[in-house]
Copies of this chain bind each other. A is one copy, B any other.
């Protein structure tokens, strides 16, 4: 195990100054052609690998961005990360991946570590338990660009890339109503998180539009995880029979899967007894026994757009802070019985 070679060592080897070596290796102009060749050869021979740490310290730039996600295994996030990685890589950046596990505390500590490591920017989809936004403000006040994706925080000086959750949720709900369902329930995500709030809003809007009653028993705040969908659905299924809903709008696909499990455990049929729809078009949506009607989120594309926006912010301090909408798509399958 040989230690890392430094510019200094190359310089000594060749009896020239460190700066000349640095310039030669960084394609600076004003370096004698022969000198450059000599340096390049020596660098190669010695196995020189530049020390980005030292470079970063001087340049105040790490060519690294942080990506904070609440989940890794749902197919939405891996796909988004793939999109992010491709854009980052094409810009010559690496990715520090941090996983909050839906926990605000872990998220906060991840953000501080990212700040410590002086990442050039951060992409984040917030945890379902996050409701204190001061940490995001602190990061922003440090001059680190932040772009939220999917789960956003608005009006704190950061751009956001997501689908039009409110509108998509309204369309989805409307689709159910137009197919004759009158008693609808909503398994809402955490309401302190944008997608939770907005999808609920869209749900209610559709009910109102068609003069349907908004029954608070039929709106259960849950999280974004499968098990939470299971529990929430059981709560609803324990209502007296005349109060039971005919259709369920779940805040996302995993919650829908949990709900489906609960429904089937009661011996009820989907969609005949209860129809259900989800949100995201997770990889499983089309494969489960009764394929799930859902809103396709184009996670890969969304990741790309979010990353591109982040690099715009990184490269241009005056880049406009905005809310970017990526188009989504209603995917009709059997679970809604339409």
Contact check, A142 vs B2: say whether CB atoms are below 8 A apart. yes
Bound Cα distance A106, B97 (Å):
19
Whether A82 sits at the interface, judged by CB under 8 Å, is yes
Bound Cα distance A62, B116 (Å):
11
Contact check, B72 vs A75: say whether CB atoms are below 8 A apart. no
> Number of copies of this chain in the oligomer?
2
B interface footprint on A1-29 (CB within 8 Å = 1, 0 otherwise): 11110000000000000000000000000
Bound Cα distance A120, B85 (Å):
21
User: How distant is A302 from chain B, measured CB to nearest CB, in Å?
Assistant: 14
Bound Cα distance A264, B119 (Å):
48
Bound Cα distance A73, B299 (Å):
11
Contact of A96 among B64, B115, B143, B288 (CB under 8 A): B64
Interface of chain A: mostly helix, strand, loop or mixed:
mixed
User: How distant is A4 from chain B, measured CB to nearest CB, in Å?
Assistant: 6
Bound Cα distance A48, B112 (Å):
11
Binds B, one of A52-60, A123-131, A147-155, A233-241: A52-60
Contact check, A115 vs B49: say whether CB atoms are below 8 A apart. yes
User: How distant is A24 from chain B, measured CB to nearest CB, in Å?
Assistant: 17
Whether A89 sits at the interface, judged by CB under 8 Å, is yes
Whether A181 sits at the interface, judged by CB under 8 Å, is no
Contact of A53 among B2, B56, B82, B113 (CB under 8 A): B56
| In the complex, chain B residues whose CB is within 8 Å of the CB of A142 | 1-4, 47, 49
| In the complex, chain B residues whose CB is within 8 Å of the CB of A106 | 89
User: How distant is A160 from chain B, measured CB to nearest CB, in Å?
Assistant: 19
Bound Cα distance A98, B96 (Å):
9
| In the complex, chain B residues whose CB is within 8 Å of the CB of A47 | 138, 141-142
Whether A284 sits at the interface, judged by CB under 8 Å, is yes
Do A72 and B82 contact each other (CB < 8 Å), given the known contacts A94-B117, A283-B284? yes
| In the complex, chain B residues whose CB is within 8 Å of the CB of A141 | 1-2, 47
Contact check, A3 vs B143: say whether CB atoms are below 8 A apart. yes
Bound Cα distance A327, B141 (Å):
49
Contact check, A73 vs B72: say whether CB atoms are below 8 A apart. no
| In the complex, chain B residues whose CB is within 8 Å of the CB of A52 | 113, 116-118
Which B residue sits closest to A49, measured CB to CB? B115
User: How distant is A72 from chain B, measured CB to nearest CB, in Å?
Assistant: 5
| In the complex, chain B residues whose CB is within 8 Å of the CB of A113 | 52, 94
Contact check, A73 vs B64: say whether CB atoms are below 8 A apart. no
Contact check, A1 vs B143: say whether CB atoms are below 8 A apart. yes
Whether A287 sits at the interface, judged by CB under 8 Å, is yes
| In the complex, chain B residues whose CB is within 8 Å of the CB of A2 | 141-143
User: How distant is A68 from chain B, measured CB to nearest CB, in Å?
Assistant: 11
Q: Closest 7 CB pairs between A and B?
A: A287-B287, A1-B143, A97-B97, A52-B116, A78-B78, A72-B82, A85-B99
Q: Could you tell me which A residues sit within 8 Å of B by CB distance?
A: 1-4, 47, 49-54, 56-57, 62, 64, 67, 72-73, 75, 77-79, 81-82, 85-86, 89, 94-99, 106, 112-118, 138, 140-143, 283-284, 287-288
Q: Could you show 9 A-B contacts with beta carbons less than 8 Å apart?
A: A1-B140, A47-B138, A51-B118, A53-B57, A53-B62, A67-B97, A72-B85, A85-B97, A86-B99
